[in-house]
Every structure is written in C-alpha cells, then in structure tokens.
Amino acid sequence: MSKILEVDSVRKSFWTNQVLTDVYLRCETGDILGLLGRNGSGKSTLLKIIFGTLYTDYKHIRINGLVLDQPYKTKKMVSFLNQDNFLPKNLTIKQIVNLYSNHLDPAIFLYDIVLSNVLDTKIRVLSGGESRYFEVKLILNLDSQFVLLDEPFNGISPLHIELVKKMILDKSTEKGIVLTDHDYLNVLDIANKCFLLFDGGIKNIKSKEDLKIWGYIPDK
C-alpha cells in the first residue's frame, strides 16, 4: 500500500528574513522528490521542519492521514540524513551497525564493496567520502517509510555517486524519498519530481531549462 507524506503551510523566518512562505510538498512511496535551491534558500531548514527537529510557528505535516508535530518521534516513520556528519566519531562502522541492528539488516554492510574493508575503522579515521557513503547507506536502510536526504552526494567520488544513486533508486520502490543537493545533474537524473526553492516558495522544475529560467544555473 502506498504511503503518503504531506507537508503544508510551512512558514519559517529567521529574525526578519522570511525563508519559507507557505510551502507545500507531497511525497508518496515510489517518489524521489528533488529539492534544489541556492545557498540559504531554506532546503535544509525545510527538511529539518519535516523531520520535526526544527521549530516553526506554522506547519502542517500529515503522514498516512496522521497529523504529526514531530514525526521523528514516531517509530518507523521518517529518517533523516543530516547535511553535516552526525555519527559518533569514536565508534567503528561495525559498532554503529550493531547499534542499529534492530532497525536494519547488518549483512548488507558486510559485503559492500566500499565498506567491507573498513568495517573495523573508527568514523574519525574514515575519509569524508567513505563516511558520507556509510551515512547514506545507513539512513536509506533504516526501517522507515520516508527518507529525507540532505546533500547525500557531498564529498563522494563520481564512481561512488553512481552507487549512491542506485541505492536511492532501489529504495524508492519501498519508501518515499526527499533529497536535496547542489549536484543538480544527479538530482535531476534520479528524481521523478523536482522543485526549486525560490523566494520562500516552491517552483516546479521539469528540465534543466527551467533552472536557467529561475536563475539557479547560469544561462550559458
């Protein structure tokens, strides 16, 4: 059965700067929503509001018809990949996978071509790309219905980006995914719906040309 995440009337301002004005998003199982926008346009802010860790005066979040104020507190609902590294640096990959073992299948990490050689390595010793790859894989494999990915391609080499894209596409058959990244070509490549956060609102994006029209990428 298809699950539905609906986000409506989201407004957020920092002091006098209105970042989000009446944003609406709808994500279903099978969807990969790509969110693009300039620095400071409110992409991460919006994802944190949906996850429920950032307070705002106005928002309406509904998952499968259930109105939730802080969706992250409800089990198996939403998982979130933070923009910055968030795993405890003094733990190894194996230890972290064991901690999450009730929420995912540890075997998928043991045979991963990127991670199998660094399973006993502490997070602080991993390269930025390895660490990001592990975080993306971890969050995508949690038993939640929706996944919010904030800059999943950040710091990952082109070869591994292809693996990440495949992971996202595979997981989208059973989850709804909202992702944001500045790597717009890869976002456009895998997203089935794409939006641009512009002036606090959401613009529908059909192609690269639309991004030029809205001034997200240069005209030439």
Partner 1 sequence: MIRLYLLYNKSILKTNLIFSILFTILKVVITLEKTIDHFPYSIALNSFIVSILTGGFFLSILYFQVSKKNEYYFYFNFGLSQVKLIGIAYLFHIILITPLLIIRFYV
Among 74, 92, 121, 157, binds partner 1 (CB under 8 A): 74
Among 38, 64, 72, 201, binds partner 1 (CB under 8 A): 72
Q: Which one, 47 or 211, has the nearer CB to partner 1?
A: 47
DSSP state of 31: -
Give yes or no for a contact between 190 and 161, defined as CB atoms under 8 angstroms apart: no
Measured in degrees and rounded to the nearest 5, phi and psi for residue 91 equal -105, 155
* Site for partner 1 contains 55 (CB under 8 A): no
Closest CA to 51 of 167, 43, 166: 43
Among 62, 103, 171, 182, binds partner 1 (CB under 8 A): 103
* Site for partner 1 contains 51 (CB under 8 A): yes
CB of 193 to partner 1, least distance (A): 25
* Site for partner 1 contains 180 (CB under 8 A): no
Other beta carbons within 10 angstroms of residue 16's beta carbon come to 5
CB of 82 to partner 1, least distance (A): 4
Q: Which one, 21 or 70, has the nearer CB to partner 1?
A: 70
CA distance 23 to 197: 9
Among 29, 70, 92, 157, binds partner 1 (CB under 8 A): 70
Q: At what angle do helices 128-140 and 158-171 cross, to 10 degrees?
A: 10
Candidates 74-82, 124-132, 186-194, 196-204 — which segment interacts with partner 1 by CB under 8 A? 74-82
- Tell me which amino acid residue 80 is: F
* Tokens coding 10: 């989201």
Candidates 8-16, 28-36, 82-90, 161-169 — which segment interacts with partner 1 by CB under 8 A? 82-90
Among 85, 92, 121, 157, binds partner 1 (CB under 8 A): 85
* Site for partner 1 contains 53 (CB under 8 A): yes
CA 143 to each of CA 102, 103, 138, 174: distance values in angstroms, whole numbers, following the listed order: 9, 6, 10, 10
Per DSSP, the three-state class of 165 is helix
* Site for partner 1 contains 92 (CB under 8 A): no
Give yes or no for a contact between 159 and 91, defined as CB atoms under 8 angstroms apart: no
Measure the CA angle with vertex 139, ends 121 and 161; round to 5°: 75
CB of 134 to partner 1, least distance (A): 12
Residues near partner 1 (CB under 8 A) are: 51, 53, 70, 72-75, 79-80, 82, 84-88, 99-100, 103, 139, 142
